[in-house]
Chain A
């Protein structure tokens, strides 16, 4: 069972269908009280400030921190990855879930923003979430903010777009991807399958 967190109006349909296509059972949680166990997934569409506001109001912020600390596998997708960090330039003054250190930043440099389309990722070896994913594989991104890569151990794969940023996170039971695996064709489906089969 994978519990998908609904934090107000995100597009859950594609994620749910992708999980379904992989044979995973999924259910949508709109409040922590509905949780009946199983892995957690934070999908990603929307803005950092609104999302954190909603997570706090519903109690999901404390719930998610407790579950991760208790060892439950969690996958954050796109904004769902950014929410795991301490803060974001998208919402100054707002704090994130603080499961990972660092600040989400707007893309620097002259390239077009949003970073939209298929880009290549460079996986580090021996990451469970990236089993079967090759260096240079393409995945689909659509975002204006990113976590700059600084060589921290949780950086499981990076991507280059004017700067090197974190594309995949893996830290024990905590996983996240900046791209949309549910829209990243076979490579993305492989990553979702890896999460399901953990």
Chain B
């Protein structure tokens, strides 16, 4: 049975994890390799690194980080943030990442989705959608949620699939940071229309939220950041709760 995936998301700035865990057993909480190894041991099914570096040499720093992470862990990981071209995608994949997440660039140049899928396969192309409720529909936002677009999030999800996305990472801006639970109506509206895996993001506060997103919104994977980083919830414990509710999960001893 295909397991539902649990995915921690790590923000990185200039090759350093920010807002990362600060567990007693970590020598350096900002070290992406240490963080990745920790989550690997905890049973994370996958990792997402979101690069928020703003400096000019960001690409070289990111590539170096991807190489180090790829050498240290043996579970898949996705890299996103500032990816604009097929060459960007190639560099990151060749450094050992498994998937590339594109967001603003996909909205600006939707051809990038198909170009990436053609060059590397759909399974390497994740389209990240930041969505926010606008009176009667969800609107797509770009640039880290700072810029509203004209796009309807559900329609955009469909278009991304048609253009060759292998997976969608859907973040509810209304729920992000609230710990009130995932945006089930948004996620369900998308999972009912697309036939590619959907990762739920934004709003996780406790195990019940993850279970609800899987059982009521039909998502394939659940993602959280601060909840895991600040150790309010351990992946092991979350997976036990999911298993208890009859959700197939991969457990590690």
Contacts and interface: CB of A to CB of B under 8 A. Distances in A.
Interface of A: 9, 11, 13-14, 17-18, 20-21, 45-47, 112-120, 138, 140, 142-144, 160-161, 180, 182-186, 188-189
Contacts of B195: 112-113
Contact of A142 (B45, B119, B123, B250): B123
Given A117-B2, A186-B252, 6 more contacts: A9-B90, A9-B119, A112-B195, A118-B250, A120-B1, A144-B123
Given A118-B250, A119-B1, A185 B122 contact: no
Nearest to A113: B195
Contacts of B166: 114, 116, 142
Given A11-B93, A140-B75, A161-B2, A17 B70 contact: yes
B14 interface: no
A119 B3 contact: yes
Contact of A11 (B2, B40, B94, B122): B94
Interface string B89-126: 01001111010000000000000000000011111100
Given A143-B123, A184-B74, A119 B98 contact: no
Contacts of B40: 185
Interface string B41-63: 00001000000000000000000
12 contacts: A11-B94, A11-B96, A13-B67, A14-B96, A21-B74, A114-B196, A116-B220, A160-B1, A180-B98, A186-B74, A186-B252, A189-B74
Contact of A118 (B45, B67, B71, B123): B45
Interface in B184-234: 195-197, 220-221
Given A118-B250, A180-B76, A144 B122 contact: yes
| Residue of B45, B95, B123 contacting most chain A CB atoms (<10 Å) | B123
B5 interface: yes
A188 B74 contact: yes
B121 A45 contact: yes
A46 B1 contact: no
A113 B121 CA distance: 12
Given A11-B93, A138-B3, A140-B75, A116 B167 contact: yes
B196 A117 contact: no
By secondary structure, the B interface counts as loop
A11 B5 CA distance: 23
Interface string B1-40: 1110100000000000000000000000000000000001
B120 A45 contact: yes
Given A45-B120, A142-B76, A144-B123, A117 B3 contact: yes
Given A140-B75, A140-B76, A183-B76, A117 B98 contact: no
A45 B94 CA distance: 11
Nearest to B123: A142
B74 A112 contact: no
B196 A185 contact: no
Given A112-B197, A185-B40, A185-B252, A118 B96 contact: no
Contacts of A143: 123
Contacts of A115: 2
A117 B70 contact: no
Contacts of A13: 67, 70, 94-96
Nearest to A186: B252
A138 B43 CA distance: 12
A182 B45 CA distance: 13
A143 B67 CA distance: 23
Nearest to B124: A45
